[in-house]
Structure 1
Amino acid sequence: MFLDEAYWTNRYNEKSTGWDIGSPSTPLKQYLDQISNKGLKILIPGAGNAYEAKYAYDLGFEKVHILDFSPIPIAQFKQSCPDFPNANIFLENFFMHQGKYDLVLEQTFFCALDPQLRKEYVKKMQEILLPGGKLTGVLFAMEFDYPGPPFGATLEKYIQYFTPEFEILKLEACYNSIPPRQGSELFVQLRKS
């Protein structure tokens, strides 16, 4: 399966966006609520309609950035959040991105990538995170018995993917998932080694 820009744009055109919950995910919302340093430079890759970015921006995080390579969610986000700085919006392939960040928020991006790109994902996260930077978010805590996306993994596989490049601060069952996803998500917080 070739999960290129055309594939995702087609999914938006067909309104086949089961990953889109229509609001910020509860785990990321509650995580952002706990951060006092509003000066962090944040990236949300594969941001889609970027509810978490709007939430973070409304909380006072002025250095939050979004990235997606489908123009449809980017255009929808610009309409829903017109005050968000255009300079913080990237319409591009994540693997080509050159920014540096204190924090990358993971919400349905890792699981949307072809599993063959997982090593490249880890390498790219290492590249774009500043020293001591964190990768934080939600991953699926299961493997799916149908062709993806989404693509999940087991806890053991996630540990293999992310070590030794990252220090695992948290990789545990997500206690505050939305009801339809209860028991199927892991909360992850990794620090760049």
Structure 2
Amino acid sequence: MMTIDDGMEQMRNWEDRWQTGNTQWDHGEPSPALVSLVNGEETKHLVPSNGIGLVPGCGAGYDVQFLATPSRHMIGLDMSKTALDVCIRKHPNAKASNYEFVLGDFFKYSPPEHGYDLAYDYTFLCALPPFMRQDWAHRYAEIIKPGGVLICLMFPLEEKEGGPPYSLSVEIYKELLSSTFELIHLKDAVGHESRLGREKISVWKRI
């Protein structure tokens, strides 16, 4: 039986991908679906306008940069040292713009004393071996404060064998999160063209 340590060893393989430039998931910008949610007149109120936010598996940091505002400090977290080096190179003015990048393990990295106000999960759950999904959900429940928000851009919503990315569904997200989060928004995502029809944008409020 695999353990969480076995799963994290699999996750460390992402360092190899960054070192070899095997980063086909990197579109060079935040997802249009996230931009639409945060800036949309009917949805922007769903996203906390201040506090501290987290983007685990932040990659090259585009989402971190986009979500950061003068009143909302964002932290990009990644286990890959090469990914972190890319972030630092691409975002030389991060500190002045109220965001930062940290090398660390999502399951062990210490949250703020009172928890996060916001977290954004995209191409992170689907990168984890399926046996780690309950740990993923429990960790978010631990680190997001009551009333805080978890944005999940659900991907890939399709039937497929193996991974990563591992196949997901709306039902899987509901099974994982509904005991500790309230689903307050769910909509088909208009994101990157190559992923159309395989994504939904969702917002979950910590109970």
Work out the CA distance in 2 between the residues paired with 1:192 and 1:23.
Answer: 28
CA 1:62 to 1:192, structure 2 compared with 1: closer, same or farther past 3 Å?
Answer: closer
1:91 aligns with 2:103: yes
CA 1:4 to 1:179, structure 2 compared with 1: closer, same or farther past 3 Å?
Answer: closer
RMSD: 2.1
Equivalent residue pairs, number: 190
Deviation at 1:62, TM superposition (A): 4.8
> Which position in structure 2 is the counterpart of 1:178?
192
CA offsets per residue over residues 115-148 of structure 1, 9 Å max, x none? 1111011110011101101100311252442320
From 2, 10, 20, the counterpart of 1:3? 10
Work out the CA distance in 2 between the residues paired with 1:172 and 1:30.
Answer: 11
> Which position in structure 2 is the counterpart of 1:30?
36
Counterpart secondary structure, 2:107? helix
Counterpart of 1:24, as a letter, is P
Work out whether residues 155 and 198 of structure 2, in 8 Å CA contact, stay in contact via their aligned partners in 1.
Answer: yes
Deviation at 1:170, TM superposition (A): 2.0
Residue range with higher mean Cα deviation, 19-28 or 81-90: 81-90
Work out whether residues 154 and 170 of structure 2, in 8 Å CA contact, stay in contact via their aligned partners in 1.
Answer: no
CA offsets per residue over residues 81-132 of structure 1, 9 Å max, x none? 1121398322011000111210001121111111111101111001110110
1:140 aligns with 2:164: no
Q: Which sections of structure 2, spanning at least 5 residues, go unmatched?
A: 1-6
From 50, 56, 78, the counterpart of 2:88? 78
Counterpart secondary structure, 1:63? strand
Work out whether residues 27 and 137 of structure 1, in 8 Å CA contact, stay in contact via their aligned partners in 2.
Answer: no
So what's the TM-score if we normalise by structure 2?
Answer: 0.83
